[in-house]
Structure 1
C-alpha cells in the first residue's frame, strides 16, 4: 500500500508541475449526464459501417491513456536508440518506435472524430546525448517490460470498448505488440540475458530420473 500511495503522490506532484508550466494537455471531458439513458438498440455495439455513436467515457479514457503510454514509450525508445551500443538492438528499438507511432495514429483518429483532444509527444524533450548511461541488457529489458504492460493495457481496453471497430483495432494492435515483445525476448535469450522465472515442477522429468 505504501508503494501505491507514494506513486500516487509522485504522479500528482508531476501533474501539478506540468500544469504550472503549461506542458500538460488536459484530459478530455464530457458533459455530466442529466438523466439515466438506457441502451435501446444493437447499434450501440456497431462498427465499421454507417454513422457511429459517440465514444463512451471508458472508451475515451482508454484511448487517451494508451496514446499517452505509447508517446512515453517513443520518448524512452528515442533516448535508448541514441545511446545503445548494439546495432541489432538499435534496429529493434527503431522498429518499436515505428509500431508505437502507427498505433498512436489509430487511437488518435477516434478522438479526432469525436472532437476530443489528443496527448502531445514527449520526444522533443529527449536530450541530444549519445553517451551510454545504461547497459544494453537493461535497456532491452526495460522495453520488454513496457511491451508487456502495453499488451495488458490493450486487453483491459478491449473489455471496456463495446464498439466492434474499436475492439477489433485493439485485438489487431495487441497481436502486433505481442510479436514485437516476442522478438525482444528472443534477443534477451540470444545474449543470455534472460533469467528463467520460477516455474512448476516437471513431474514427468522427475519420473524419468527415477527409472
Structure 2
C-alpha cells in the first residue's frame, strides 16, 4: 500500500522535550472559546475509530451485495450509512487539527454477488462488530479529557445501540440468535 500510495500513515505528533503538567481545568474544556490541541491518546482513538468504521463499512457493503433476505439487506445498508457518518465526524476533528484522516476502503469491495455466507452468519458477524464498536467508543470516551470529543462519542452511542437492537430483532425473528448462558433465576427456582 505504501508503494501504491494508498496507505495513509497514522498521525504524527512531535515528541515532547520535557514533561508538562496540567495547570488549569481549561485542559478539559472544548465547548466554548479556545480548544487545546488534542492529545496523542485522543488522536489514537479517533484514527482507529475512523479505520474500524471504514473497514466495517467495506465489509458490510460486501455482505449487502450477497445477502438474500431483503430485511437483512436493509439492515446492512443502514449500517453502511452509520459507519460513513461516524467516520466523517471523526475525520473532521483530525482535519481541524491539521492531522491526516484514514481513507475509506470502498475500492476494496468487488462487484461479486455470489452468496458465500449465510444471512445468519452475516448477521452474527455484523452484530459482533457493532458490539466491538460500542466498546471502542466507550474506551474513547474514557480516554478523552476534552469534553467536546467525549460528548461526540457519547452522542453516537444511542444510534449504535438502536442499530444493534434492530439487528437482534432480525436474528430473533429468524431464529438465529442463540441464548447465552444466564445466571440462575432464584425467584423461578423458589416458585418451583
Scaled by the length of structure 2, the TM-score of the pair is 0.97
Q: Tell me the distance in 1 between the aligned counterparts of 2:149 and 2:172.
A: 34
Q: Tell me the distance in 2 between the aligned counterparts of 1:129 and 1:105.
A: 27
Q: Displacement of 1:22 after TM fit?
A: 3.4
Aligned to 1:119: 102
SS state of the match for residue 39, structure 1? coil
Aligned to 2:21: 38
Q: Tell me the distance in 2 between the aligned counterparts of 1:111 and 1:48.
A: 17
Q: Displacement of 1:146 after TM fit?
A: 0.2
Q: Tell me the distance in 2 between the aligned counterparts of 1:47 and 1:95.
A: 31
* Greater relative CO, 1 or 2 (CA 8 Å, sep 6+): 2
The alignment covers a number of residue pairs equal to 192
**2:35 maps to which of 52, 55, 70:** 52
Q: Displacement of 1:70 after TM fit?
A: 0.1
Aligned to 2:165: 182
**1:108 maps to which of 91, 112, 115:** 91
Unaligned runs of 5+ in 2: none
Aligned to 1:14: none
Q: Tell me the distance in 1 between the aligned counterparts of 2:44 and 2:124.
A: 28
Larger relative helix fraction: 1
Q: Displacement of 1:37 after TM fit?
A: 1.2
Greater shift in the superposed pair: 149-158 or 169-178: 169-178
Q: CA RMSD in A?
A: 1.0
